Amino acid sequence: MRSLEEVLGYTFQNPALLIRAMTRSAYAREAGLPGDAHMDALAVLGDAVIELAVIEAIIDVGESEKGAITNLKIQSVNMLRLRNAAEALDLTEYICWGKGERQMEIWTSGRVLAECYEALIGALYLDNGMDAVRSVLRASGIVSYKKD
């Protein structure tokens, strides 16, 4: 996972979080890992954290109207953008896929890679809070901020 950390420009303080974020539930079941050793909860967290970061960035650039913020958020956070961010990191190479997932090349489904990216963001958040998330989202082009 060192090479993924290099691509991210971030080193995990708790590497177990990164491993969990890169472990699909199918793989965890097949490998007999504990019930919480997979990415699912991190993906849910990451989804919320990405939305928070995007809304924060929208407000940071001066938008204050609720409807405009909502519309900009919808434009900024979508499956295609998250999938593209995952592809830019070559995330498929780091994920522990279940046997069936690997045979079916499930990552070619749009939502799957987006979910993996969300899990990565959830892990970043738990490891070092919003600063780590902002840095990675900024590098991915998902958000931009006026100030640090």
pLDDT of residue 146: 62
Burial status of residue 25 (CB atoms within 10 A of its CB: 0-12, 13-18, 19 or more): middle
Assess whether 87 carries a catalytic annotation.
no
What is the predicted pLDDT for the residue at 148? 44
Q: Which two tokens stand for residue 27?
A: 């793989």
Per-residue pLDDT of the chain (148 residues; tens, 9 = 90+): 899 999 999 999 999 999 999 999 999 999 999 989 999 999 999 999 999 999 999 999 999 999 999 999 998 888 999 999 999 999 999 999 999 999 998 988 779 999 999 999 999 999 999 999 999 999 998 887 665 4
Q: Which of 101, 115, 118, 127 is catalytic?
A: 118
Quote the pLDDT of residue 76: 86
Residue ranges covered by each domain of the chain? 2-32+47-139
The pTM of the full predicted model, rounded to 2 decimals, is 0.93
Question: Of the listed 6, 47, 60, 87, which one is catalytic?
Answer: 47
- DSSP for residue 23: B
Instruction: Report pLDDT for 1.
Output: 82
pLDDT of residue 145: 64
| Domain 2-32+47-139 in CATH 3.40.50.150 | no
Based on the number of CB atoms within 10 Å of its own CB, is 137 exposed (0-12), middle (13-18) or buried (19 or more)?
Answer: buried
Phi then psi dihedrals of residue 40, to 5 deg: -55, -50
Q: Assess whether 40 carries a catalytic annotation.
A: no
